[in-house]
Amino acid sequence: MKRPATVLLTALAPVSWGTTYAVTTEFLPPDRPLFTGLMRALPAGLVLLALARVLPRGVWWGKAAVLGALNIGAFFPLLFLSAYRMPGGMAAVVGSVGPLFVVGLSALLLGQRPTPRSVLTGVVAAFGVSLVVLKAAGALDAVGVLAALASTASMSAGTVLTKRWGRPDGVGPLALTAWQLTAGGLLIAPVALLAEGTPPALDGRAVGGYLYLALANTAVAYWLWFRGIGRLTATQVTFLGPLSPLTAAVVGWAALGQTLTPVQLAGMALAFGATVAGQLRAGTDVKEADGGARHSAGHPRPRTGNDYSAAAASAACAFSARSTPARDSEISRRRAALGSAEASHSSVLRRVSSETWIDG
């Protein structure tokens, strides 16, 4: 698949997550962040596990548990805690600091040295977020802000580790998603029971809200997300994050009657523009990384004109050691053949370079 299509499909995940806050506040029982996280994760994980029909093996039991804890088990409760205590747009836009976390963690865990441009775009995005948070109308809830930041840090760590560990041979993103959702849901279950007690009574609106969160917002969205992590860089994936606050703000304004001040709108535009710029830069980096990865993985390096010239020189030396009229004739013939191959190869290279090929 072409890389732009991969980016667009991966972007559907944060767009879907941007609706989480409106669904949580309008459809779900109040003050049940742990139960809501459980209902979002575990049913989705079990459905995907039934579809994938693959269980972890060996060290992947531990790795799946760690990834499930970071991406799901800690992330979901913190996310819903922030959603219950803050307006949807405010809670979501805090997530745009994710690129800064991922840039730092990628340097530590992936050996990817941060570039000045990536750091700058992350700082500008964070500054835009601060404009939104600090200028919000009314008093912001400190616990909600801290929960939103902690949820972002947790998922950023999970994203980088997912990229670092990859997937076992023969295991696709569907199974990897199922493992993490199931592990995260099982981690949340006892904590939810101890902290919040028995599950609340659910009406039709709550059932519909939980079905949407479990299927579209989690099973499908996380499958697209982990699929994207396998095909893009960790930084490129996380720079899609601003689509979530943008969606949340639009939904909050259009459906919930929430208002944003001009300063907040400017902050969101600044954060979004900075992270989009980082996404474009990450797209350049990933193509360069792809080339090196392909060669190191055993793909043959394309032969250049210099390769053919070197081959011709080597052949000439081999034959000239014992020069005779017959060998001289053979050398001339082989030089002509190699020269023809070089010219043909150069023609192909010129034709390829005039096109735009993006592997995906």
* pTM score of the predicted model: 0.71
Task: Report the C-alpha gap between 271 and 94 in whole angstroms.
Answer: 10
Task: Report the C-alpha gap between 256 and 262 in whole angstroms.
Answer: 18
Task: Report the C-alpha gap between 262 and 271 in whole angstroms.
Answer: 14
Average pLDDT in the 266-293 region?
62
In this model, does residue 247 exceed pLDDT 90?
no
Q: Which amino acid is at 347?
A: S
Closest C-alpha among 206, 258, 252, 196 to residue 31: 196
Token duo for residue 300: 């043959």
Q: Which amino acid is at 117?
A: R
Per residue in 63-80, pLDDT (tens digit) is 999 999 999 999 988 877
Q: How many CB atoms lie within 10 A of CB 280?
A: 12
pLDDT at 345: 38
In this model, does residue 261 exceed pLDDT 50?
yes
Whether the CB-CB separation of 304 and 343 falls below 8 Å is answered with: no
Residue 172, Ramachandran bin (φ over 0: left; ψ between -120 and 50: alpha; else beta): beta
Q: Based on the number of CB atoms within 10 Å of its own CB, is 218 exposed (0-12), middle (13-18) or buried (19 or more)?
A: buried
Per residue in 168-198, pLDDT (tens digit) is 999 999 999 999 999 999 999 999 999 999 9
Bigger pLDDT: 160 vs 298: 160
